[in-house]
């Protein structure tokens, strides 16, 4: 692990959605809407995790993990 980086091990349940980085705000909204429609409770004291994935065309995808109570 690089110097100065913190390591946090997360042991919780997540809802996740992946899409183009250009649509980051929309992806967050869609994921929040899905969580509400499924009647999951968002875990407000948990960490939201985003991972970034380069694409061949120079663009980037983001995958959002939103903590939920199951």
- For residue 66, with 0-12 CB atoms within 10 Å meaning exposed, 13-18 middle and 19 or more buried, which class applies? buried
C-alpha to C-alpha distance for 47 and 70, rounded to whole angstroms: 16
Q: What percent of the chain has pLDDT over 70?
A: 100
Angle at 54 between CA 51 and CA 60, to 5 degrees: 80
pLDDT bin (cut points 50, 70, 90) of residue 1 is confident
15-67 tens-digit pLDDT: 999 999 999 999 999 999 999 999 999 999 999 999 999 999 999 999 999 99
Predicted TM-score of the model (pTM)? 0.86
Strand partners, 14: 67
Contact call for residues 62 and 21 (beta carbons, < 8 A): yes
Strand partners, 67: 14
């Amino acid at each position: 692990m690089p110097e100065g980086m913190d390591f946090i091990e997360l042991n919780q349940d997540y809802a996740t959605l992946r899409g183009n980085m250009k649509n980051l705000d929309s992806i967050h909204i869609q994921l929040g809407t899905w969580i509400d429609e499924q009647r999951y409770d968002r875990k407000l004291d948990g960490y939201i995790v985003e991972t970034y994935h380069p694409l061949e065309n120079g663009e980037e995808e983001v995958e959002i993990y939103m903590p939920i109570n199951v």
